[in-house]
Amino acid sequence: MKTITKQQYERMKAGDVVLTGGDSLFAKIIRRITKGKNAAPATSATHAGIVVEVGNQKLIAEMTATGFVFSPFSKYTEESRDRWIVDVVSVAALNSYRVRSTMNNTLCEMYRRKKEIKYDWRGVVSFLPVRVSQSESRFFCSELAAFLWSTVAGVAVQERPEQISPNEFEVGSKVIKGIFSIL
């Protein structure tokens, strides 16, 4: 679990990916499937969101069971919660003001159309050894982040976005090269 200082919060920019962990049943299942039975809960990412800037506030754009939402950072930083921030990561492609601005505008436009963007339950099931069809208008958390990094920022992603789990955004990933932590 990482505590975010004011300086680290200030360094975060639109498009950075917030990796979180948790103790919910769903988080435990994701951790088991993507990391194995011996994964350390405190350092294992089970969810991914994207930093979005709205006015002077930084929020986390994320896919939840109810769909696409903007959540405050306090959702993951209050000690009474069963979820926490594992890391916040970025890539060099996001150093461009134009790319970050486009990412932020894309996220805000998605929020305006949030009723059209649904959670991709079939996509989550695709991590199991079961064959399922993919939907073009539905996303799960890390699928959304990978899709936006590849289409808006031009980041080379070695797998299709619907095959990306939250731990593929960790520093040293073989699927997405050049990831660095900003914490």
In tens, the pLDDT along 98-127 reads 999 999 999 999 999 998 888 887 766 555
Please name each of the domains of the chain with its CATH number. 6-178 (3.90.1720.10)
pTM, rounded to two decimals: 0.87
How much is the pLDDT for 82? 78
Determine the pLDDT at residue 59. 96
Alpha helices in 12-73 (DSSP H): 25-35
What's the gap between Cα 54 and its chain centre? 18
Contacts of 139 (CB under 8 A, 6+ apart): 63, 68, 117, 119, 120, 123, 147
Q: What distance in Å separates the CA atoms of residue 6 and residue 11, rounded to the nearest whole number?
A: 9
